[in-house]
Amino acid sequence: MVDSPKRLVSRITRDTLALVLAGGRGSRLRQLTDWRAKPAVPFGGKFRIIDFPLSNCVNSGIRRMGVLTQYKAHSLIKHVQLGWGGNHVARGEFVELLPAQQRMNDQSWYSGTADAVYQNIDILRAHESEYTLILAGDHVYKMDYGPMIAYHVEKGADLTIGCIEVPVEQARAFGVMGIDREGRIESFVEKPDDPPRMPSSPDTSLASMGIYVFRTDFLFEQLILDADDPDSEHDFGKNVIPRLIEEHQVYAYPFREPGLTDQPYWRDVGTIDAYWSANLELIGVQPDLNLYDTDWPIWTYQEQLPPAKFVFDEDGRRGMAIDSMVSGGCIISGAVVRHSLLFSNVMVREQAYVEDAVILPNVQVGEGAEVRRAVIDKGCLIPPGMQIGVDLEADRERFEVSPEGVVLVTPQMLGQKLHMVR
């Protein structure tokens, strides 16, 4: 009996091992990643960036996952242990942490994305998966990986690359694929000055999402070949993929939401401006990323906290938040919060004013302080009366100011003690 499409997807997702590459620093986020890896950066009021690819796996029916960590991974490891450690091992479900640990020769650090997978090849062999799904751990999006893996099987592909359509002028920031009319990849170039165009849309390019599907035995063969190449940087985008395109069946999978013609939501929140903008987009009446979607929940670890509270109701002393998202444990005390996103345990004291701000957990905004167009890192204590985002020239002398005028403030910039767990 031939499998139905739904049953086929269910079977192949059960036979898939997902690997989330979560070792990168994300230096373009500046001081936000001084003490944490980019996938551990808080996002959306209660989540961390890595929760999105992990939730996509669970919602897609992929219940075997490995998280490859490296750079300043303490908070990332702790978050994964707390939020994702409750899988049913007896049913073959797990989230396994795979830090750099000198498993191959004397090499300690992962030297590239391909090397990160290669250094764990003995562990991966033991899982005996038919397919391997490799994901970047630092993008924000919702995606069902099942249809992509089914596409990979249907095409008889050796490698399938998830991709997203972007205007040609934006494609210079990505790895870009040139494809034929059957979807087979003919070229792959990193951050090109003249990006390849799509055959059906000359104003559009296909950018890599950092999502790869391999037949597992084929992946192992290629990792060993790459590891033996002294001239390789051991990176999927720079070395492995360009070589495979010349000799093997490599296809592009354009990411589309079923039944929709618009490009689905996908964000690389890799700069302060992009991070600030993506967080504030969530406040919209109908945001492109719907965190209230019960059909595709985003899972995470969260503390047990009391509800947000707004206190005092007097003229000139009214605690309120307008056009904002406010998380558990927050207290708005005789202050005004407007068009902002507050993570958990934020205290905004009397006569303070917050607008267009992204405020991470455990921040206190002092009495009479003013915060505009800013990202305030976890644990900051904003002194009473301090102005942030009002005079950018003054802000540049003490804080980080992005190209688009977003002010980043960290505890160190304020001369305050840095908490161990970030």
Nearest of 160, 362, 353, 180 to residue 248 by alpha carbon = 160
Nearest of 134, 126, 133 to residue 103 by alpha carbon = 126
3-state secondary structure 87-116: CCHHHCCEEEEEECCCCCCCCCCCCCHHHH
State how far the Cα of 119 lies from the Cα of 105, in Å rounded to an integer.
9
State how far the Cα of 378 lies from the Cα of 346, in Å rounded to an integer.
9
Binding residues for alpha-D-glucose 1-phosphate: 110, 175, 190-191, 208
Strands 64-69 and 47-48: unpaired
Please give the DSSP secondary-structure letter assigned to residue 419: P
pLDDT at 7: 58
pLDDT at 316: 87
Binding residues: 110, 175, 190-191, 208
Average pLDDT score over the chain: 91
> 297 with 311: CB under 8 angstroms?
no
pLDDT at 229: 95
pLDDT at 291: 94
At residue 225, the 3 state secondary structure works out as helix
Strand partners, 358: 341, 375
Residue entry with tokens 């605690």: 319
**Which helix H or strand E contains 141, and what residues bound it?**
strand 140-141
pLDDT at 87: 60
> 138 with 38: CB under 8 angstroms?
yes
At residue 152, the 3 state secondary structure works out as helix
CA–CA distances in Å: residue 10 to residues 1, 149, 150, 158, 271? 16, 10, 10, 20, 37
CA–CA distances in Å: residue 19 to residues 124, 171, 335, 385? 10, 26, 45, 47
State how far the Cα of 44 lies from the Cα of 280, in Å rounded to an integer.
8
A 10 A CB-CB count for 242 gives 17
| Number of helices and strands in the chain (H, E) | 10, 29
Please give the DSSP secondary-structure letter assigned to residue 239: I
Per-residue pLDDT of the chain (422 residues; tens, 9 = 90+): 345 556 556 889 999 999 999 987 778 899 999 989 999 999 999 999 999 999 999 999 999 999 999 888 899 999 999 988 766 554 678 999 998 876 556 566 888 899 999 999 999 999 999 999 999 999 999 999 999 999 999 999 999 999 999 999 888 888 899 999 899 999 998 888 899 888 878 888 999 999 999 999 999 999 999 999 999 999 998 899 999 998 899 999 999 866 555 678 999 898 999 999 999 999 999 999 999 999 999 999 988 999 999 999 999 899 999 999 999 999 999 999 999 999 999 999 999 999 999 999 999 999 999 999 999 999 999 999 999 999 999 999 999 999 999 999 999 999 998 764 45
A 10 A CB-CB count for 356 gives 17
pLDDT at 2: 45
Q: Under 8 Å CB-to-CB from 418, ≥6 apart: which residues?
A: 35, 379, 411, 412
297-350 pLDDT, tens digit per residue, is 999 998 899 999 999 999 989 999 999 999 999 999 999 999 999 999 999 999
pLDDT at 5: 58
State how far the Cα of 149 lies from the Cα of 415, in Å rounded to an integer.
50
Strands 364-365 and 381-382: parallel
